[in-house]
Structure 1
Amino acid sequence: MQSSARLPALPRRLCPSPTTAGILLGSDPRHVAVARRWAARSSRARPGLADRISLAASELVTNAQRHSASGGTGGTVRVELLRTRLHLELRVTDNGPRPGHDIDFPRVTDPADPLRIGGHGLRLVESLSMYWDWLGHAGGPLTVRAMFPPS
């Protein structure tokens, strides 16, 4: 008989260090609010900056759930905050593309239709942060990073 090991319930905190904090979220859309609250507290930043970081975390977790395998049953989203003397770095890592879907790398959409519903998340992250980019490869997990000034 095969035993099935149960993983701890999500969301759950990841092992913190003096410079990095992390949380692992699931595919539940309610985890977006958890990410927002966690990022504001974990940033240890002044209120205005903490608000910007938490809003960016919310947008990036939402994108991971909507556009990757992280939004499917058993999907996860890893959120980390790295603190250095020079910046705060928010990292959101998804589970890679959904099976049977085209690989779509993050990009800011064309602003031709500003009244369009949806598709403005990365534009918002771009306006909130000093810089954003992504790391990953075709078919694998993708990490979107957003840099903020030090607190």
Structure 2
Amino acid sequence: MSLAMPESAPIVLEMYWQRTFPGRPEEARQARSFLRALLPTHPGLDDMLQVVDELVVNAIRHTRSGEAGGTFRVRVLTDAACIAVSVIDEGGPGRPVRRAPGGLAESGRGLALVAALSVRWFWSGSGRSRAITACFAAPSHPESSAGS
């Protein structure tokens, strides 16, 4: 049995970046700048910037990342079909919950925004650390207009 790829198979190039930020509110701007520098021409960049901002603010407000000396990480992984943007926090007492839109609450709708702007989202981890990841279609992928 041959393990060689057929000549017609596409070559998938993966790229991976990660940066750690201090867990302070002003670092949300730095996280957006990091993402903007990595993907300056992506057609869905505005949606990605809104999502990373929401996830960073959530990490700072709702986890130990926002405590004195806390940090959070932004991770970006790209391949031929997906750009995955993750915010990794230092964990907290609860689990991320997507609330239904509606009502008059001034907060609590962040993950609904993430779901609306991305192709899909998910979280993994524990009370010690967790990652929330939002996936966006790569520019050449058929789902590129999803979430826009």
* Range class of TM-score, shorter chain: 0.7 to 0.9
Answer yes or no: is the 8 Å Cα contact 1:29–1:65 preserved in 2.
yes
Task: Please name the residue that 1:22 is paired with.
Answer: 18
Equivalent residue runs for 1:130-145 within 5 Å: 130-137=119-126, 139-145=127-133
Match of 1:118 among 80, 104, 107: 107
| Number of aligned residues | 126
- 1:108 has 2:104 as partner: no
CA distance in 1, matches of 2:15, 2:57: 25
Bigger Rg, structure 1 or 2: 2
CA distance in 2, matches of 1:32, 1:76: 12
Where in structure 1 do 4 or more consecutive aligned residues deviate above 4 Å?
none
1:50 deviates by 0.9
The residue aligned with 1:87 is 82
Q: Please, what TM-score do these two structures have when normalized by structure 1? A: 0.78
CA change 1:149–1:45 in 2 (3 A) is farther
TM-score between both structures, scaled by the size of structure 2: 0.80
Aligned to 1:37: 33
Residue 42 (structure 1) shift? 1.3
Q: Which residue of 1 aligns with 2:116?
A: 127
What residue identity is the alignment partner of 1:116? Answer: A
Percentage of identical aligned residues? 30
Q: Distance in 1 between matches of 2:68 and 2:123?
A: 24
1:74 equivalent in alignment to 2:74: no
The AA in structure 1 aligned to 2:138 is P
Unpaired stretches in structure 1, ≥5 consecutive residues: 1-17, 98-102
Deviation at 1:72, TM superposition (A): 0.3
Q: Secondary structure at the match of 1:117?
A: coil
Counterpart residue type for residue 96 of structure 2 = P
Letter paired with 2:72: V
Other structure's SS at 2:44 match = helix
CA contact 2:19–2:75 (8 Å) conserved in 1: yes
One-letter amino acid of the structure 1 residue matched with residue 87 of structure 2: V
C-alpha spacing 1:45/1:131, structure 2 compared with 1 (3 Å): farther
Mapped partners of 1:89, 1:107: distance in 2: 19
Task: Calculate the aligned-residue CA RMSD, in Å.
Answer: 1.4
